[in-house]
């Protein structure tokens, strides 16, 4: 089974992110809107795998009774990690993964974000670019 989880890592907004302030997605049913809602509602409650699968399951209307099997099938092949999330590519959010792999949104202009950037014990990974250069 493949995983997208990071540990002790800060995913920073993409270098080509078009916004300078973290903003909430405007479409609640979009991938970005669903990811945002899950992470804003429960910081450090879900892993990256949990977030990605939950968004997939909601968008595909997978019933609870079928989710365990669907999750195994979903992660049977590699999935894009949260470095490719529209939250870091288009909406300017940082994503912090704690030591247990649980993730939280971090406003790029917050003191928490600055502290995470300065912390040498936190691995930094940039969000993926939207365009090739």
Distance from C-alpha of 121 to C-alpha of 131, rounded to nearest angstrom = 30
Q: Are 112 and 36 in contact (CB under 8 A)?
A: no
pLDDT tens per residue across span 75-105: 999 999 999 999 999 999 999 999 999 999 9
pLDDT the model gives residue 92: 97
pLDDT at 130: 80
How far is it, in rounded angstroms, from Cα 19 to Cα 50?
27
Angle at 115 between CA 111 and CA 120, to 5 degrees: 170
CA atoms of 51 and 42, how far apart (whole Å): 11
Confidence check: pLDDT of 21 > 60:
yes
Predicted pLDDT at 133: 57
| 3-state SS class at 55 | helix
Residue 47 CA: distances (Å) to CA of 8, 35, 43, 123: 12, 12, 10, 16
pTM recorded for the entire structure: 0.92
- Each residue's pLDDT tens digit, 34-64: 999 999 999 999 999 999 999 999 999 999 9
């Amino acid at each position: 089974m493949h995983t997208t989880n990071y540990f002790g890592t800060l995913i920073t907004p993409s270098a080509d992110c078009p916004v300078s302030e973290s903003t909430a997605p405007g479409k609640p049913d979009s991938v970005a809107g669903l990811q945002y809602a899950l992470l804003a509602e429960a910081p450090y409650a879900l892993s990256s795998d949990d977030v990605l699968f939950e968004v997939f399951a909601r968008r595909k209307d997978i019933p609870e009774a079928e989710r365990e099997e669907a999750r195994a099938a979903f992660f049977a092949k590699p999935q894009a990690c949260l470095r490719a999330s529209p939250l870091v590519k288009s909406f300017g959010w940082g994503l912090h993964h704690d030591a247990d792999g649980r993730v939280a949104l971090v406003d790029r202009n917050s003191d928490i974000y600055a502290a995470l950037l300065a912390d040498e014990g936190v691995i930094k990974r940039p969000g993926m670019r939207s365009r090739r250069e």
